[in-house]
Amino acid sequence: MNTKNLDSIIEIISKSLKINKSKINSKTNLQKFEEWDSLGILTVMTALDKKFKGSIKISSFDKVKSASDIQKLLK
Amino acid sequence: MFSKIDSIEYFLPRKRNLFSINFKKIYSKTGILNTRICNKNQDVIDLAYRACAKLKKKLINNVDTIIFVTQTPRYLLPSCSCILQEKLKLKKDIYSVDLNMGCSGYIYGLSVADSIIRSGIGKKVLLVCSDTYSKYIDKKNTNKYIFSDGASATIIKKSNKEKIFNFSFHTDGSKHKSIIIDKVNEIEKFSMKGSDVFAFTLEQVPLNIKKYLKRYKKKISFFKKIFLHQASGIILDNLKRKLNSDIIYKDIKYIGNTTSSSIPISIANAKRRGKIKKNDNLLLCGFGVGLSLGITSVKL
């Protein structure tokens, strides 16, 4: 598992949703956060697309529950 | 024989009060200050009539084709185009048809209009786009911050020069439930899975535009402006980034997402504001419900 990518993903989630990084690890269920609403998800998707320059398969984002799930979408 | 866009008019109903505790946060993503909502006793035919009434009388009198793009029709049957023929007092030897298409509907409508003129079936087409999503979006549904009711009326005429050209389309029915009006406890309600639509848009719009330019051997610099469906601020900003283009026209703040009317409304406004003029080449791309996408080029 590439921990560098995972750290970047957690950083993006934390910044986009304005949630303290300490509350998120690779397995944290993001759906428990109030900030993980439709607008929050779009903000995270935008930041991920920018960071990974289109190399993330965002069309499968509906199945995402955790940072680890997002990492699996990296092409 | 070719076709050209002669004129575009539109009608928007009253502004909807969107004030709420979260509005600032929502606005930062949608880029929409006002959406529009029709009265209880208004529907797509009434909005379409108001848009058509703004067209010059001599333009509309000898229309021989009506294409009515809507997904919120007055009736399941008959078609809205037939009702509009009577309401506008147009001649009876007329071709009239409804197209059940949403945000890509203007491009599909233009393709039908262009085909009708090229084939010689008609000489002057009235392309109407009209929707009232508000009737299916209740007060608790956050989509009220995005979607607007509205109608547009475009006259497409025969032309010696090719001024509507190079169509391209894309459909992905596997995501048809991503934007849907379906029965919930016997009541028809609108729902949208934002992440699905966002992903489709971010992946397919840039990809299809690039394929389109390659297919028709055009560079983006050939176009004066790109008119994308005005879906939301966050989508337009992301497409601007993905396409690396500063010629994308944005006109959503005081209008909202008027589905199939968003492209003709923004073209009409751009023209009035002097942002585009005669002989400019425009690239148009509509995308959304279906999920579907359409691209074409227009010379004013």
pLDDT digits (tens, 9 = 90+) for B147-196: 999 999 999 999 999 999 999 999 999 999 999 999 988 899 998 988 89
Cβ within 8 Å of residue B285, ≥6 positions away: B107, B205, B208, B209, B226, B227, B228, B229, B293, B294, B295
Give the position of tokens 């090229």: B118
| Stretch B230-241: mean pLDDT | 93
* CA dist., res. B66 & res. B222, Å (int): 31
Helix (H, G, I), strand (E, B) or coil at A48: helix
B188-212 as b/e, with b when 16 or more CB fall inside 10 Å?
Answer: eebebebbbbbbbbbbbbbebbeeb
Q: Which residues of A touch B25 (CB under 8 A)?
A: 39
* CA dist., res. B44 & res. B50, Å (int): 10
Q: With DSSP H G I counted as helix, E B as strand and the rest as coil, what are the percentages for chain A, rounded to 5?
A: 65, 5, 35
Share of chain B above pLDDT 90, in %: 82
- Record: contact B25-A58, CB cut-off 8 A: no
- Record: contact A42-B29, CB cut-off 8 A: yes
CATH fold for the domain made of A3-72: 1.10.1200
A16 touches chain B (CB under 8 A): no
**Would you state the pLDDT for residue A1?**
52
Pick B194's closest partner by Cβ from A41, A49, A60: A41
User: Within its chain, how far is the Cα of B60 from the centroid?
Assistant: 20
Task: Map out the domains of chain B with their CATH numbers.
Answer: 2-161 (3.40.47.10), 165-299 (3.40.47.10)
- Record: contact B202-A50, CB cut-off 8 A: no
The pLDDT confidence band at residue B272, using thresholds 50, 70 and 90, is very high
Report yes or no for ipTM above 0.95: no
The answer to whether B80 is a known catalytic residue is no
The answer to whether B61 is a known catalytic residue is no
- pLDDT greater than 70 at residue B235: yes
- From B52, B80, B103, B285, the catalytic residue: B103
* CA dist., res. A45 & res. A51, Å (int): 10
DSSP letter for each residue of A24-42? --TT--GGGSTT-SHHHHH
CA distance A72 to chain B (A): 16
At B144, list the tokens.
């009220």
Cβ within 8 Å of residue A20, ≥6 positions away: A14
pTM of the model: 0.92
A6 touches chain B (CB under 8 A): no
| Stretch B214-218: mean pLDDT | 97
Is residue B161 a contact partner of residue B4, using CB atoms and an 8 Å limit?
A: yes
CA distance A38 to chain B (A): 6
For the segment B247-256, what is each residue's pLDDT rounded down to a tens digit?
Answer: 999 999 999 9
**Would you state the pLDDT for residue A55?**
84
- pLDDT greater than 70 at residue B138: yes
Task: Count the neighbouring beta carbons within 10 Å of the beta carbon of residue B123.
Answer: 16
The answer to whether B185 is a known catalytic residue is no
* CA dist., res. B142 & res. B148, Å (int): 12
Task: Count the neighbouring beta carbons within 10 Å of the beta carbon of residue B65.
Answer: 22
Q: Where are the domains of chain A?
A: 3-72
A43 touches chain B (CB under 8 A): yes
At B64, list the tokens.
């021989």
CA distance B195 to chain A (A): 6
Q: What is the SS3 assignment for B70-92?
A: CCCCCCCCCCHHHHHHHHCCCCC
**Would you state the pLDDT for residue B158?**
96
CA distance A14 to chain B (A): 17
Q: Which residues of B touch A38 (CB under 8 A)?
A: 142, 194-195
The amino acid sitting at B114 is: D
Report strand pairing: B35-36 vs B65-69.
Answer: unpaired
Q: What is the dihedral of CA B141, B143, B145, B150, to 10 degrees?
A: -120
| Stretch A36-50: mean pLDDT | 87
